[in-house]
Amino acid sequence: MARRRRPGRSRRSLTIGLLVLVSITIITLDYRGGGHGAISALKRAAHDTFSPVQRGVDAVVRPVGSFLAGAVHYGAVEQQNAKLRAEIGELERRVLEGRATRQELDQLEQLAHLPWIDGIQAVTGQVVGLNTSNFAVTVRLNVGTSSGVDVGMPVVGGAGLVGKVTEAWKSGSTVQLITDPRFAVSVRFGSPGGYALAHGQGAGKALVVQYVAPATALHRGEVLMTSGLQNASFPSGIPVAKITSFSSTPSSTSEAVSAQPVADLPAVQYVDVMLWYPGQ
């Protein structure tokens, strides 16, 4: 059975044939130099015929061209953005380094003017390691026995007591921080002066202050100092912590007191090891 030709296809073939014929006729007349009026009319007719086709082609091709152009430039834009991000990161790093340097200088300057260290020799050390667990809060220093550092010596920062040396070797030492659960220090408060015992409770936690009699006159922000009692583990007058809360009940045998270390322990970078032995 013969295949029936579709009417749409026949019309498109006829249109293409007519357009080709018109084009040949225009070229021939223009080449011979005659029929300028006819040529102009044919050109206008051809323009009118092709314009809708050209607009349709442009409508399809232009978005594709724009997409391809965008795809070509996308990689360049991404590279530029990556470069800008890197530059911003470098600037932020420099700002942070500047802040850290300023902080280090401030700490070193404070260590040079500690009022409670007057008359006691000290060695400045840098914190080079941190150990924090449920059972211990310690830091490692870059000064040891070769610098005169020994077990039991007090360690202080610009604001106050940091801890004590629990291990020492030639080039380094380990310091138990005052927030360590095994740490305890005798403190003095009030006027003329009461005595209590401050215990560590773990990294980031307040100290618990024990043996404060009920109804003792206390106030928030009051600074607890090392007591300096006979055979004490620390010299007298070193700031330890500030009272943050206190309470009691009629049946209490002592006040429930909490205190925050005056030294910003997580930020400490430089400390002074006081060349002082317990009981001096």
Overall domain count for the chain = 2
| Token output for 46 | 């051809």
Boundaries of domain holding 29: 9-113
What confidence score (pLDDT) does residue 76 get? 73
Contact criterion met (CB below 8 Å) for 167 and 149: no
What confidence score (pLDDT) does residue 111 get? 67
Q: Are residues 95 and 128 in the same domain?
A: no
Q: Are residues 224 and 267 in the same domain?
A: yes
Q: Are residues 124 and 222 in the same domain?
A: yes
Domain-terminating residue out of 78, 113, 148: 113
Query: How many C-beta atoms lie closer than 10 Å to residue 205's C-beta?
Result: 14
Consecutive sets of 10 residues in the chain, 280 residues long: mean pLDDT of each?
52 56 58 52 55 53 54 66 67 58 59 74 90 82 95 92 96 95 91 86 92 87 88 88 89 88 91 86
Domain-terminating residue out of 92, 113, 134: 113
Q: Are residues 173 and 216 in the same domain?
A: yes
Q: Are residues 75 and 200 in the same domain?
A: no
What confidence score (pLDDT) does residue 190 get? 79
Q: Are residues 27 and 126 in the same domain?
A: no
What confidence score (pLDDT) does residue 110 get? 62
Instruction: Report how far residue 219's alpha carbon sits from residue 237's, in angstroms, rounded to the nearest whole number.
Output: 19
249 occurs within a structural domain: yes
Q: Are residues 131 and 252 in the same domain?
A: yes
What confidence score (pLDDT) does residue 117 get? 75
Partners of 260 in the beta sheet?
242
Q: Are residues 138 and 260 in the same domain?
A: yes
What confidence score (pLDDT) does residue 215 get? 81
Partners of 122 in the beta sheet?
274
Domain-terminating residue out of 69, 96, 113: 113
What confidence score (pLDDT) does residue 57 get? 46
What confidence score (pLDDT) does residue 271 get? 92
3 occurs within a structural domain: no
What confidence score (pLDDT) does residue 200 get? 95
| Token output for 127 | 């914190």
